[in-house]
Amino acid sequence: MSDICKATKNNIKRAAEIIRTGGLVAFPTETVYGLGADVYNAKAVAGIFAAKGRPAFNPLISHIADIDFLSEYVQTDERSVALAKRFWPGPFTMVLKRKDHNGAMDLACAGLPTATVRMPNHPVALELIRESGVPIVAPSANRSQTISPTTAEHVEESLGGRIDMILDGGACSVGVESSIVDVSSSDVVLLRAGGIAVEEIEDFLGQKVIISHGEPDRPSSPGQMLRHYAPSHKLRINVEKPEEGEFYIGFGWQNNADLNLSPDGDLNEAAANLFAYMRLADEMAGDKGIAIAPIPETGLGLAINDRIRRASYNK
């Protein structure tokens, strides 16, 4: 039986011991909960794919706690180090060329010549990584193709009984996954919109970021698969006026919403509420399904619209 444990110092130590000995631990980050394993333990990494029911050969993000560690296993340059210093710890993930040809990492990297790295901005995640002494590879802690978890209870609902431990650090503050940026060539390519707005990355670099939408059946980032974040009800997006009987998720001031992502129209607040509200809506909706109000396509709105567009995609 997996178990929700409060993220006390002692439980983080126990969790680190589980990671070191090849087990699986779900832990909080500022974006969503991750399902963690030792990046160098291929058997443990395989266990992640099995627990999630995820198609294999899907590269995973390594989580580190110290920028200096970066140069040990990926090729860094001035630009990637500057990006790391600017956006870490935080919801920002870089795809970089591998340097470490340790075959044990092949599964985590899905056999690609690149590795994908981020430093999460959450004290529990950082302490767990430091205690474990290895980078922790972690996809979102949910069954494949279901909504990402932003609380320990969501993890339990999805993966309970399949993993060794769930560290409970409360609700995630950002609420959508990290932005993934491929910096392994001279271009900067956004593979997944996420918790850092693309405008911020462009402002910092003084360079345009190429937005990649991927090909639905051959995505370079499987987060680009069309139907990825899925409630079980039909979902309509960009809805100003819901139909009779539809469960309506609003944004900004609205008096007819069943739930409102942010009555003040704050996109950061909306991102933090998004996945929890999609779950609630899925539980409460009837035959008519769910409708979501239009969300502006700026700042974190890009990530929010990306997730709800995928969730609305018909089977």
Binder of ligand TXA out of 222, 231, 250, 289 (CB under 6 A):
222
**Cβ-proximal residues to 36 (8 Å cutoff; 6+ apart), any chain:** 19, 24, 25, 26, 27, 63, 128, 136, 137, 138
* Residue 114 CB, nearest approach to ligand TXA (Å): 4
Task: Answer yes or no whether residue 138 interacts with ligand TXA by CB under 6 A.
Answer: yes
139's tokens: 């996809």
Asked whether position 140 contacts Mg ion by CB under 5 A, the answer is yes
Residues 176-205 that bind ligand TXA (CB under 6 A): 177-178, 180, 191
Among ligand TXA, Mg ion, none, what does residue 121 contact (CB within 5–8 Å per kind)?
none
* Residues in region 261-300 near ligand TXA by CB under 6 A: none
State yes or no: residue 95 binds ligand TXA (CB under 6 A): yes
Q: Mapped to the 3 state alphabet, what secondary structure does 31-95 carry? A: CCCEEEEECCCHHHHHHHHHHHCCCCCCCCEEECCCHHHHHHHECCCHHHHHHHHHHCCCCEEEE
Helix (H) / strand (E) element for 12: namely: helix 9-20
Rounded Cα distance between 23 and 12, Å, is 14
Name the binder of 222 from Mg ion, ligand TXA, none, CB < 5-8 A by kind.
Answer: ligand TXA
Q: How far is the CB of 52 from ligand TXA (least distance, A)?
A: 9
E-strand ranges in 78-212 read: 92-97, 114-118, 136-137, 165-168, 179-182, 189-192, 210-211
Q: Among 25, 61, 107, 257, indicate the residue that binds ligand TXA (CB under 6 A).
A: 61
> Does 47 engage in binding with ligand TXA (CB under 6 A)?
no
Quick one: 202 exposed, middle or buried, by C-beta within 10 A (0-12, 13-18, 19+)? middle
Whole-number Å distance between alpha carbons of 191 and 175: 18
> Does 223 participate in binding ligand TXA (rule CB under 6 A)?
yes
Residue 314 Cβ vs ligand TXA, minimum distance, rounded to whole Å: 21
State which residue, 33 or 251, has the beta carbon closest to Mg ion: 33
12/39 with CB nearer Mg ion = 39
Confirm or reject binding of residue 112 to ligand TXA (CB under 6 A): yes
Residue 257 Cβ vs Mg ion, minimum distance, rounded to whole Å: 27
Q: Where on the chain is the footprint of ligand TXA (CB under 6 A)?
A: 29, 31-32, 34, 58-61, 91, 93, 95, 112, 114, 116, 120, 138-140, 177-178, 180, 191, 220-223
